[in-house]
Structure 1
Amino acid sequence: MDQRNYQKMLFDRIEMAFSEWQDRESIAESELYRFLHTLKRMSGTIGMDSLAKFCSSQLAMLSVDNMNRIPVHTLNNFKSRIHRIIENVDVLKDSDSLDMSINHLDDETTVLIIDDNLEFVSYIKELLEKMGAQVIIALNGKRGTEKFYSLRPNFVLIDLYLPDMTGFEVLDRIAETARARHVIVAIIGVEASRVNKITAYERGAMDFLTKPLDTEVFISYLFNRNEMRKIIGKSVVTDGLTGVGNRRYFDEKVNYFAELSTRSSDGFSLIMLDIDHFKKINDLYGHPAGDDVLRKLGEVMMEEKRETDHAFRYGGEEFAFLLPGATVEESVVFIDRVRTRFNAVVFQQGDYQFSVTFSVGIASYKDGVEKLISSADQALYEAKRSGRDRTVVYNIETPLMRRKLHLIIVDDDMLIRTMLFETLSEWSLPDIDITVHAFPDGPSFLESNWFCPEEYYIVLLDGIMPKMDGLEVLERLKREKDEKNVLVSMMTARTGDYDIKAALWLGADDYIMKPFQLKDILFRVQQLMTRIL
């Protein structure tokens, strides 16, 4: 979708507002202020500077707190002026700078946008995805905070005013962890006052971006900050939160030990461990409690390892050890010592106390780094599947359970169901079993025995269906199965923004506009897969 489509969305919103007002005698001044405020934010971002300037001049004469009534019939001239401005707007395509920047970013660049302006987030989402980045959307502060901690983005853009809290309050909840992870955090807002900028910087933001965004400036800003992020990442080998090595350092060390083993025949073992039920810890006791658990595990790992061993945070709540010269038997003895000490820790959060366990998979280096990691990962999956709080050693003679990914299509259109089923059924991944399921409506899906806690799910959910609307299905899913291993992408053909906004508000992880290309669906599924596998 280029800027012309977003301009049309904005035209439609303007017409809808005036159409609604025609049925009323008057509107509050505060309502007109909010209308112009939204219009200004979006118009400048999508290349309609003259309309943005007009809105600014009108806002200067209004107040968001004033409840005085304005007769609707007096707005006719106001409406005509907006129409004249729109008629004189040069309809723009995406700028040349955007064309030059296609795929300039990569899929390791993950941007979380916390903003309830759907036109704005839709435009920025498509802009960044064209450049190769992954984009996560949250329409309120609570959901944005949850996605920050669970999906680990490296960019966060936070609107100054959200439906449930201010951008500053979101900052207070994520700033410490963002600094530890070297995450680029920016507040974005129309009210770019000196006080707001100072407050943003004092509370942990790296930048304050003024709405409406200038697209070309925004692109240059992203490239600048992304290069800085990569340089910092290359120079830092320690995970800021836990004190163990980070994922980049793990990749470096495991390849080093593999080369050393090839030259000298010295073996080494890989231990992969995953904290059990970590999401429940965050849900029950809060993200600060989850961070305490991660920090404590890092502390125990560093104190228990030998000088020649290496400890890492592999990602999220998953950690790893590289033990040079160790057999799997010695690795089991070592990790049992770590487990005994960590399981004995009693965490305190307010009036509550709780203990935590972890599951382990172990493999020895034999046939390359990729096979080593895959083997340890399969053993870890078996440990989790068979009850958690245990260790499983990979044995080639005893095939272990491979991770299972279920792709679920819920759509009443038989042609779309069939096309998606056939396309997705042809997709395969090493060491992961993929199964595709198709349902004609919400009840048949929800009433099926579809869920297993140890398996992974991506649900492609149609927005309009008989018997039960897609939004009702989504609400049930998020209420009953709001788990890290279940992601939902809403498919919608409705032209209005209500369904997309409602879906994101209810917790949808992505949305897809109909009609779509099958290759685009596969690309979206692949992106979602990287979040859970």
Structure 2
Amino acid sequence: MEKYQKMFFERMKKTLNQWELKDFVEEGHIYRFLHTVKGTAASIGLVDISKEAEQKIEQVNEIESRPWGIDEWQPFLQFIFAKDTINEEVQREEEKIGKITENEKLILLVDEDITTVNALKANLEKEGYMVLAALSANKALKLFYDQKPDCILLGIGLQGENGFELLDTLFEKSQAYLIPIILLSSEDTKETRLRGYKRGAADYLVKPFEFDELLVRVENRIKSKEMASNAVLIDELTGAFNRKFFKMELSRYLYELTRKKSALTLVVIDLDNFKKVNDKHGHIVGDIVLSGFAQCILKNKRSSDYLIRYGGEEFILLLPHTKKEEAKTFVERLLKEFSAISFLSEQGESFSVTFSAGVVEVDNPSTEIEEYVKQADTALYDAKNNGRNQVCIYDQNHGVPVAKKNAIHIAVIDDSAVVHELVKDRLSKLSFGKTDIDLQSFRDGETFFTSHWHKQPGKFLILLDGIMPGMDGLEVLRKLRHEYQEDKYIVLMLTGRKSEEDIVRALELGADDYLTKPFSVAELEARVKRLVKRMM
């Protein structure tokens, strides 16, 4: 951290030296300067400076334009250099939260009370869980469909909505994934508890409750979910086999290859523009499309063929005793039949869906299962890149690397140069197998939007500072959600705002998660790791 602490003091001195050349400095600029000091200093081990900056922030106004002369602002900010010492306090903080990276279970927390949300989110994350928060039913359902959590904590009594109606919807959808729902309610009546259990709740806790009791219940419910999931081989929504079956069956085929030469072809299939189906027609209709696709394949395949739901809208078809050319012809026939199916939206609008597919022949028992999937995925990328609605055979000489298809783009939008360097150095060392990480930093929202970088294909994780000169972080978030494809961008707000109203506003505007300054670099790294893995 010594490098970044030195850089921090150099940047602060440079800013104040520039101010000395001015007749005055507006109070709003002093506020933003202190905000940068508070957030950056704590992240690089200068905890005392961060705490004093936080106290000074209370004495200035973000939107005030009152001029401060040098005789006023210089002594006001002198505390920064009174503690111009290099230290490594941050190391203890990183050790404290090291276990964050060990547990990647995701909890969806739904409650209208932001105080409850903040407290539970902070405590659960200290225990190694990733927590996504929703303050409304609509946001809860979106996060559920997009992220498929391991457990849901549902507060009863959402404003303007019936908590039990949301429970009904979540239970109906979570059954297929065996996701447990724990109700959190201030009502301690037998009638309410029974009502919750009858409608699908796995557990019920009365507010206020002890956190350690909640933690034990969450741990137990997730363990039960994992045990049940391991015993199931069929995907309930589609009727296809699941990933566990796929690994078992393909391992068996690879073993068979060592005893006798028998052709086997693996096909990776992905529904074209499926996100647009969900966005335009809703997730319920999207589920109907998934089920319709599976039924089409199951109806037309041979009894010896296996259909596996590999994840979301991606499926794998195992075709024993089939060469890759034969498989391509067969899958093209399936594509023609499926694309002829007419689906109906809830408004009665008729539409059809196509798919793209990548084909690879399994011919070497010493090759890992994952490698065959990657090869088929490469051929799938070719099909997508060539206009979708087609089937491509893997060509080891001309295939496009899978990493290009799966590239994750990370943007840091923050006005602190120290934060840029710190985050860039730390995140550039992260490894996610063969997935490329493309990291860029921007000093403000205007620079981000005028850049063509964010318009390239792929998925984006945006680390967005809440307070910046020019376009405020909330303004950047609003523009991103209103004018750009929502499912393309995951937004992690880095907020130094103490007001719970600001956090509520960020969540309402579409932030996927938030991290409150000051935070340690290890904590940010752990959060980024989890979000990227969920995006892959």
Please state which band the TM-score falls in when normalised by the shorter chain: 0.7 to 0.9
Aligned with residue 449 of structure 1, among 452, 460, 478: 452
Residues in 1 aligned to 2:125 and 2:390: alpha-carbon distance in whole angstroms: 40
Report the CA distance between 1:439 and its aligned residue. 0.7
* 2:315 maps to 1:319: yes
Report the CA distance between 1:494 and its aligned residue. 2.4
Identity of aligned residues (%): 34
Q: Provide closer, same or farther for how the CA distance between residues 249 and 418 of structure 1 changes in structure 2, counting only shifts above 3 A.
A: same
2:382 alignment partner in structure 1: 382
Residue aligned with 2:487, SS = coil
CA RMSD of aligned residues (A): 2.4
Report the CA distance between 1:196 and its aligned residue. 2.3
Report the CA distance between 1:221 and its aligned residue. 1.2
Residues in 1 aligned to 2:343 and 2:209: alpha-carbon distance in whole angstroms: 45
| Structure 1: stretches of 5+ with no match in the other structure | 1-15, 17-98
Residues in 1 aligned to 2:525 and 2:261: alpha-carbon distance in whole angstroms: 42
Given that residues 104 and 131 in structure 1 are in contact (C-alpha distance below 8 angstroms), is that contact kept between their aligned partners in structure 2? no
Given that residues 359 and 389 in structure 1 are in contact (C-alpha distance below 8 angstroms), is that contact kept between their aligned partners in structure 2? yes
Q: Provide closer, same or farther for how the CA distance between residues 323 and 130 of structure 1 changes in structure 2, counting only shifts above 3 A.
A: farther
* 2:367 maps to 1:364: no
Aligned with residue 481 of structure 2, among 475, 478, 483: 478
Aligned with residue 119 of structure 2, among 119, 123, 132: 123
Report the CA distance between 1:265 and its aligned residue. 4.0
2:504 alignment partner in structure 1: 501
Report the CA distance between 1:300 and its aligned residue. 1.3
Residue aligned with 2:389, SS = coil
Report the CA distance between 1:220 and its aligned residue. 1.9
1:353 alignment partner in structure 2: 350
Residue aligned with 1:169, SS = helix
Aligned with residue 256 of structure 1, among 252, 255, 261: 252
Given that residues 151 and 221 in structure 2 are in contact (C-alpha distance below 8 angstroms), is that contact kept between their aligned partners in structure 1? no
Given that residues 245 and 312 in structure 1 are in contact (C-alpha distance below 8 angstroms), is that contact kept between their aligned partners in structure 2? yes
Residues in 2 aligned to 1:508 and 1:385: alpha-carbon distance in whole angstroms: 30
CA offset digits 1:41-100 (Å, max 9, x no partner): xxxxxxxxxxxxxxxxxxxxxxxxxxxxxxxxxxxxxxxxxxxxxxxxxxxxxxxxxx9x
Q: How does 1:50-129 map to 2 (within 5 A)?
A: 106-107=103-104, 109-129=105-125
1:511 alignment partner in structure 2: 514
Aligned with residue 460 of structure 1, among 440, 460, 463: 463
1:208 alignment partner in structure 2: 204
2:71 alignment partner in structure 1: none
Residues in 2 aligned to 1:464 and 1:103: alpha-carbon distance in whole angstroms: 27
CA offset digits 1:467-499 (Å, max 9, x no partner): 011011011111122432321111112233233
Residues in 2 aligned to 1:526 and 1:352: alpha-carbon distance in whole angstroms: 40
Letter matched to residue 209 of structure 2: L
Q: Provide closer, same or farther for how the CA distance between residues 258 and 174 of structure 1 changes in structure 2, counting only shifts above 3 A.
A: same
Question: TM-score, structure 1 length as denominator?
Answer: 0.77
Number of aligned pairs?
435
Q: Provide closer, same or farther for how the CA distance between residues 225 and 283 of structure 1 changes in structure 2, counting only shifts above 3 A.
A: same
Q: Provide closer, same or farther for how the CA distance between residues 308 and 205 of structure 1 changes in structure 2, counting only shifts above 3 A.
A: same
Report the CA distance between 1:333 and its aligned residue. 1.5
Residue aligned with 2:109, SS = strand
Residues in 2 aligned to 1:160 and 1:149: alpha-carbon distance in whole angstroms: 20
Q: Provide closer, same or farther for how the CA distance between residues 461 and 103 of structure 1 changes in structure 2, counting only shifts above 3 A.
A: closer
Report the CA distance between 1:162 and its aligned residue. 1.5
CA offset digits 1:442-478 (Å, max 9, x no partner): 0110121133464111111111100011011011111
Given that residues 150 and 316 in structure 1 are in contact (C-alpha distance below 8 angstroms), is that contact kept between their aligned partners in structure 2? no
Moved over 6 A (4+): 102-105
Residues in 2 aligned to 1:382 and 1:127: alpha-carbon distance in whole angstroms: 45
1:233 alignment partner in structure 2: 229
Given that residues 343 and 357 in structure 1 are in contact (C-alpha distance below 8 angstroms), is that contact kept between their aligned partners in structure 2? yes
Q: Provide closer, same or farther for how the CA distance between residues 390 and 194 of structure 1 changes in structure 2, counting only shifts above 3 A.
A: same
Q: How does 1:291-306 map to 2 (within 5 A)?
A: 291-306=287-302
Given that residues 100 and 526 in structure 2 are in contact (C-alpha distance below 8 angstroms), is that contact kept between their aligned partners in structure 1? no
Residues in 1 aligned to 2:254 and 2:248: alpha-carbon distance in whole angstroms: 10
Given that residues 151 and 218 in structure 2 are in contact (C-alpha distance below 8 angstroms), is that contact kept between their aligned partners in structure 1? no
Q: How does 1:412-431 map to 2 (within 5 A)?
A: 412-431=415-434
Q: Provide closer, same or farther for how the CA distance between residues 412 and 320 of structure 1 changes in structure 2, counting only shifts above 3 A.
A: same
Report the CA distance between 1:351 and its aligned residue. 2.0
Residue aligned with 1:451, SS = helix
Given that residues 394 and 400 in structure 1 are in contact (C-alpha distance below 8 angstroms), is that contact kept between their aligned partners in structure 2? no
Which stretch shows the higher mean deviation, 466-475 or 487-496? 487-496
Given that residues 378 and 399 in structure 2 are in contact (C-alpha distance below 8 angstroms), is that contact kept between their aligned partners in structure 1? no
2:158 alignment partner in structure 1: 162
Q: Provide closer, same or farther for how the CA distance between residues 274 and 217 of structure 1 changes in structure 2, counting only shifts above 3 A.
A: same
Residues in 2 aligned to 1:435 and 1:105: alpha-carbon distance in whole angstroms: 24
Report the CA distance between 1:343 and its aligned residue. 0.7
Given that residues 141 and 164 in structure 1 are in contact (C-alpha distance below 8 angstroms), is that contact kept between their aligned partners in structure 2? no
CA offset digits 1:275-297 (Å, max 9, x no partner): 12222222222221111111111
Report the CA distance between 1:326 and its aligned residue. 2.2
Q: Provide closer, same or farther for how the CA distance between residues 454 and 326 of structure 1 changes in structure 2, counting only shifts above 3 A.
A: farther
Q: Provide closer, same or farther for how the CA distance between residues 413 and 161 of structure 1 changes in structure 2, counting only shifts above 3 A.
A: same
Q: Provide closer, same or farther for how the CA distance between residues 129 and 217 of structure 1 changes in structure 2, counting only shifts above 3 A.
A: same
Residues in 2 aligned to 1:316 and 1:457: alpha-carbon distance in whole angstroms: 19
Q: Provide closer, same or farther for how the CA distance between residues 331 and 213 of structure 1 changes in structure 2, counting only shifts above 3 A.
A: farther
Report the CA distance between 1:353 and its aligned residue. 1.1
Residues in 2 aligned to 1:240 and 1:531: alpha-carbon distance in whole angstroms: 22
Report the CA distance between 1:239 and its aligned residue. 0.6
Residue aligned with 2:412, SS = strand
Residues in 2 aligned to 1:520 and 1:118: alpha-carbon distance in whole angstroms: 21
Residues in 2 aligned to 1:382 and 1:210: alpha-carbon distance in whole angstroms: 53
1:399 alignment partner in structure 2: 399
* 2:142 maps to 1:146: yes
Q: Provide closer, same or farther for how the CA distance between residues 492 and 103 of structure 1 changes in structure 2, counting only shifts above 3 A.
A: closer
Residues in 2 aligned to 1:453 and 1:338: alpha-carbon distance in whole angstroms: 32
Q: Provide closer, same or farther for how the CA distance between residues 476 and 364 of structure 1 changes in structure 2, counting only shifts above 3 A.
A: same
Question: TM-score, structure 2 length as denominator?
Answer: 0.76
Residue aligned with 2:246, SS = helix
CA offset digits 1:322-345 (Å, max 9, x no partner): 222322212211211221111111
Letter matched to residue 382 of structure 1: D
Given that residues 490 and 512 in structure 1 are in contact (C-alpha distance below 8 angstroms), is that contact kept between their aligned partners in structure 2? yes
Letter matched to residue 381 of structure 2: Y
| Structure 2: stretches of 5+ with no match in the other structure | 1-57, 59-95
Q: Provide closer, same or farther for how the CA distance between residues 130 and 369 of structure 1 changes in structure 2, counting only shifts above 3 A.
A: farther
Report the CA distance between 1:103 and its aligned residue. 7.3
Given that residues 153 and 183 in structure 1 are in contact (C-alpha distance below 8 angstroms), is that contact kept between their aligned partners in structure 2? yes
CA offset digits 1:327-377 (Å, max 9, x no partner): 221221121122111111101233211111112122233421121122222
Letter matched to residue 237 of structure 1: L
CA offset digits 1:196-232 (Å, max 9, x no partner): 2233233332332222232222122122212211221
Residue aligned with 2:518, SS = coil
Residue aligned with 1:243, SS = coil
Residues in 2 aligned to 1:453 and 1:194: alpha-carbon distance in whole angstroms: 55
